[in-house]
A and B are shown apart, each in its own frame.
Chain A
Amino acid sequence: MHQGEESQSFKLEGFLMAFVALMIVLQILLGNFPLSFVAFPVNVAIAMLWVAAIVILHREMNDNPWIRLLSSGRCSLILLTLFVTGCLLIGLFVQSPDYRDDGFIGQLGLHSFTTSWIFVGILFLLMTNLLLVILRHPAGMKRHRIRFLLNHVGLWIVLLASFFGSADTQKVRVMALRDQPTMESFDIGGKIKPLEIPITFKTFKVDYFDNGMPSYYEATLLLGKEMKRVEINHPCRMTWDTDLYLVNYDMEKGDETPYCVLEVVTQPWRYVTMLGIVMMACGAVLLFIYGRDKTKKDDADVG
């Protein structure tokens, strides 16, 4: 590595270390990232400003050393290492917002690390790096470029939708008693939330294996005036962004259960997520078909 490149990479590592340190300080001072702050329409505004800023910086300041550093392969490698480390922390520490730990580990947010400033910050930088890498990718061999775009743009879209769409996802539960219309639901904190359409639980059907274990169950519901069926693995559609899931019932009474528990999930960003997933799936198939990237010279060291 040349001397100039070496000082550039120190700059990058220094910046990333300072960034992570800042996130740690924010985490200790403020607690976990205030997700509810980035609900619609704030999230859309921030996302558009951020994308516009990156595109303008890429176009107008393409030779700026900081932009080059942030879009470098080295930056991707460090951020991927930080992401893997973050996943390991999530995997090794018990994750629960109710977990009580007043020690340093608790202060660092390691028991709800997915919403900590540190992990959110790493994801944000990873998405920024990914967007810059996409914008700076040179036009090369057609099939490799298509594979590159499907994998990278697909991943960026999935991350974007889960990052900015997280606060718009809402889950509430409904305790539906047989033949009694209800318009009440409860969020995870037990707060009552009104439903847009009244739900009436009508009938229930369970099939069993020989050993008495349930193999399949379904309920019919009246949503407003429309009769709908909801079964395990097959939610029913309430509105364009809301689905209804069958969660529980009185297992002892089976078909005669007097109630069923339903979950109403609102997730307006799911179409964006699905677009990213489909792109990534196509990219994954091309990884399988084309194999390793042979567009670069095997002995070139471009790091």
Chain B
Amino acid sequence: MLTWDSFYLFATGTILLSAAGAAASLWNRRKAALWLTVAAILVMGWFIAGLWTFLSRPPLRTMGETRLWYSFFLIIAGLLTYHRWHFRWILSFTTIMAAVFCIINILKPELHDKSMMPALQSAWFVPHVTVYMFSYSILGCACLLGIAGLVTKKKDLLPSADNLVYIGIGLLSLGMLSGAVWAKQAWGDFWSWDPKETWAAATWAGYLLYIHLRLTHRSTRRILCHWLLIICFLLLQMCWYGISYLPSAKASEHVYTEIS
């Protein structure tokens, strides 16, 4: 039976395999990079499946559990981006980001008990949180492209970032819409401007701004577009965990992710 106690073993295995994949991609060993990263994903996937079985509920409730999925999806998003657009550096960055979140989880695991408050026991819970986590990972890659574009002044990164943003905002929209339907079922309102919802709306509208700016100014405003990719990702961080530090968010319906 897999418990949280064995996480450090699986995390180490995942990060080592992912780092080996990243190194292979830097040395242009494409096949090795793909297979090593797939192995990393399988190791982390095995742990998640085991924890899910042990807890008898999806491990999506606490902040630590969402970080677990984030690391998992980040490596998948990195692999898809690498496979599709052949950026040799992307796997290194996604590995570092995934490692940071794994290390936070090892140092500050938070309590991962079996209970889950009744309002979270809904068929909407798993799709709502997993599509969000997956979109966060995809948009994390888009943010890396934004930073790379500003640092290297390369012009050709934006079309790839566009693709990531379209996929990311598609998933973000599905997360937001499923959340609205679930909120109606659980609390009676589709939308109540809860702090989490407010920052989600700001993030979503920010990415819409990026998409429309790119549609109307395809060859200009490139620096602004790169900055927007970074700013929107920062808004997304606020939505995910930053709101816990805001006095305006103390009464959020979503603070259950903080309570163990």
| B186 surroundings in chain A (CB, below 8 A) | 232-233
Selected contact of A281 from candidates B116, B173, B243, CB within 8 Å: B173
| A274 surroundings in chain B (CB, below 8 A) | 181
- Contact between A292 and B159 (Cβ–Cβ < 8 Å)? yes
Selected contact of B188 from candidates A171, A210, A213, A273, CB within 8 Å: A171
Q: Decide yes or no whether A76 CB sits under 8 A from chain B.
A: yes
Interface bin, chain A? 35 or more
**Nearest chain B CB to A121 CB, angstrom units:** 16
- Contact between B213 and A91 (Cβ–Cβ < 8 Å)? no
Q: How many contacts A-B (CB < 8 Å)? A: 148
Q: Which of B26-34, B102-110, B118-126, B146-154 participates in binding chain A? A: B118-126
Considering the complex, give the chain B residue whose CB is closest to the CB of A265: B188
- Contact between B118 and A233 (Cβ–Cβ < 8 Å)? yes
Q: Which of B5-13, B87-95, B192-200 participates in binding chain A? A: B192-200
**Nearest chain A CB to B176 CB, angstrom units:** 9
If A87-B199, A215-B118, A298-B159 touch, whether A284 touches B170 (CB-CB below 8 Å) is: yes
The proximity string for B residues 134-175 relative to A, scoring 1 for CB distances below 8 Å and 0 otherwise, is 000000000000000000000000010011011101110110
- Contact between A284 and B212 (Cβ–Cβ < 8 Å)? no
CA distance in complex: A62, B163 (Å) = 34
9 nearest interchain CB pairs?
A287-B170, A87-B202, A265-B188, A288-B170, A284-B173, A73-B216, A209-B115, A303-B216, A292-B162
A sample of 10 cross-chain residue pairs with beta-carbon separation below 8 angstroms, ordered by A number, consists of A91-B248, A95-B248, A232-B121, A267-B188, A270-B190, A287-B170, A292-B159, A292-B162, A300-B218, A301-B220
B residues apposed to A, CB below 8 Å:
113-119, 121-122, 159, 162-163, 165-167, 169-171, 173-174, 177-178, 180-181, 184-191, 193, 195, 198-199, 201-202, 205-206, 208-209, 212-220, 238, 243, 246-249
